[in-house]
Amino acid sequence: MTFKIVLAAVLVAGLAQAKPMGDHAKVADEVKAAVRATVAGINAHDPDKAAAYDASDVVSMEGGRPDTLGRDGDRAGFKMTFGYAPQWRVSLISETVEVARSGEMAIYRGLYNQDSVNAGVPMTSKVHFIAEFRRQPDGSWKMPWYVVSPTERSHKK
């Protein structure tokens, strides 16, 4: 009997200390909205909007341009890319968001078409966009890191 009381007390104490789970569907929707805004910034060739969800010390690893550290570096990387690929646009194929139990962090994984023009020839390819999002003290979501990786070579559309 004493063992059962002690076990029950330990379980109740553990439950009281556990962080409550966040609303995972709401978190996933917020993260997807942040990515949609980022894509809109990319497609508008607006470096500020493209980097708006970057953490101040973001690490950006993208094929086709040097890795960057920090929001200013990422903005400069976008500006460079927009300059040499003025027809560059991206569009969503599929996406998933995995939310941490606490609801304070999420991993975004998306597959995108990447369209551009090379020597007057419309080209396309698929890329993975993988990013970590963390909830900030003000409730917003920021990316401390992200990776863009091609899944195929560019080819004619």
| Continuous segment of H or E residues that includes residue 96 | strand 89-99
pLDDT at 2: 58
Above pLDDT 70, what percent of the chain?
85
Q: Is residue 17 part of a domain?
A: no
How confident is the model over 90-113, as a mean pLDDT? 97
Q: Is residue 6 part of a domain?
A: no
Q: Is residue 123 part of a domain?
A: yes
Q: What range defines the domain where residue 117 resides? A: 22-156
Rg of the chain over all Cα atoms, to the nearest angstrom:
20
Q: Is residue 1 part of a domain?
A: no
CATH assignment of the domain containing 77: 3.10.450.50
Q: Where are the alpha helices (DSSP H) in 44-111?
A: 47-50, 71-84
**pLDDT tens, residue by residue, 12-28:** 444 444 444 559 999 99
Tally of structural domains, the chain: 1
Tell me how far apart the alpha carbons of residues 136 and 104 are, in angstroms, rounded to a whole number. Answer: 8
Q: Is residue 4 part of a domain?
A: no
Identify the residue with better confidence: 133 or 18.
Answer: 133
pTM > 0.85: no
**pLDDT tens, residue by residue, 138-156:** 999 999 999 999 998 888 9
